[in-house]
Amino acid sequence: MPKLPLTGAGLGFRRELIPALQTQVPSPIQFFELAPENWARMGGASARILRSFTERHPFVCHGLSLSLGGPAPLDTELLGDIRRFMAQHGIQLYTEHLSWCGDAHPLHELLPLPCTEAAVRWTAARIRQTQDVLGCRIGIENASRYITPPGAEMDEADFIRAVVEEADCLLHLDVNNIYVNSQNFGFDPRIFLARLPLERCCYIHVAGHYQEADGFLIDTHGSPVIDPVWALLEDAYQHLRTRGLALPPTCLERDFNIPPLPELVAELQHITRRQQAAPALAEAL
């Protein structure tokens, strides 16, 4: 199946939205994202519905369960299924979280890795193995976290850069995760953003979050994006342009409390406007 251009603003492919999308895919939606764990082994009517979309629209695979930093062997059977699924549907990009999520059994939670040299080597080796099985470079997402593992030998931004460079993979930038972590752990999100290996950025997430009564933020993807996160997205676009880089495709994540499609389209238009307002490459250079 031919690969379709992957650019602009996109939306998570949620089952709740399929009836509306079957009627019409609004023009601001330039691509869709899905979790391959939920679709790669699916047959019947669900597979036929997905095929009707992938024939007409570009898709991204965003994994949820590979546990790249975990102790258990990589699920190469799942990776084989994902490789075949991507080929079948002409999907160009696979991304996963820089985290771990289980050992003998899945924990259904994305847990942070210790920022150590040993964790860099271990995780990078597993990313290289993943890339070998999939036959392509993958994007690694900076994850939200609610604890800081002990024994750190470097800070989180240096850890992300070290893993990405050691693995020779790409960066999947999540601006909401940066904002959530910055508020919960007290650092400047703009400085953190600028220290990431943005020259390797292939994909961006933007999302909403939930604020507890005590001010602690939870990365739920269940609310509209707030102004400080939009501002951080603008900063990301500015950094990319000043480095002479094209803007990666940017996906709006909404996994819970999913509103009617027109409300999500209005948020997607926020992304499009910011992409259009970013300096052109010639101006940036």
Residue 102's pLDDT band (boundaries 50, 70, 90)? Answer: confident
217, 258 contact by CB (below 8 A): no
Token representation of residue 12:
């998570």
- Of residues 193, 187, 261, 197, the one with CA closest to residue 21: 261
Residue 185 in any domain: the answer is: yes
* Residues 6+ away with beta carbon under 8 Å from 24: none
pLDDT higher than threshold 90 for residue 31: yes
Position 39 in a domain: yes
Give start and end residues of each alpha helix (H) in the chain: 18-23, 44-54, 76-89, 117-134, 156-167, 175-185, 189-195, 227-242, 261-277, 281-284
pLDDT for 4? 80
Mean pLDDT of all residues belonging to the chain: 95
pLDDT for position 279: 84
What pLDDT is attached to residue 265?
98
Q: What is the pLDDT of residue 41?
A: 86
Domain membership of residue 248 (yes or no) is yes
Residue 213 in any domain: the answer is: yes
pLDDT digits (tens, 9 = 90+) for 176-214: 999 999 999 999 999 999 999 999 999 999 999 999 999
In a domain, 52, yes or no: yes
Q: How do residues 240-250 score in pLDDT, each as one tens digit?
A: 999 999 999 99
Determine the 3-state secondary structure of 97 from DSSP.
strand
Helix H or strand E segment including 44:
helix 44-54
Say if residues 194 and 178 touch (Cβ distance below 8 Å): no
State how many domains the chain has: 1
pLDDT at 285: 55
How confident is the model over 38-45, as a mean pLDDT?
A: 90
Interaxial angle between packed helices 117-134 and 76-89, expressed in degrees from 0 to 180 and rounded to the nearest 10: 50
Residue 252's DSSP bridge partners are: 11, 206
CATH of the domain at 85: 3.20.20.150
pLDDT tens digit sequence for 67-97: 999 999 999 999 999 999 999 999 999 999 9
Do the beta carbons of residue 109 and residue 144 sit within 8 Å?
A: no
DSSP 223: S
d(CA 67, CA 198): 23
Which residue matches tokens 């996160």? 229
Other C-beta atoms within 10 Å of 280: how many?
8
Token output for 106: 């899945």
Residue 1 belongs to some domain of the structure: no
Do the domain assignments include residue 120? yes
Which residues span the domain enclosing 280?
A: 9-284
Asked if residue 2 is part of any domain, the answer here is no
Q: Distance of alpha carbon 167 from its chain centroid, rounded?
A: 18
Q: Which residues contact 37 (CB under 8 A, 6 or more apart)?
A: 63, 64, 65, 78
102-116, 122-136, 240-254, 261-275: range with lowest mean pLDDT? 102-116
* pLDDT of residue 63 exceeding 80: yes
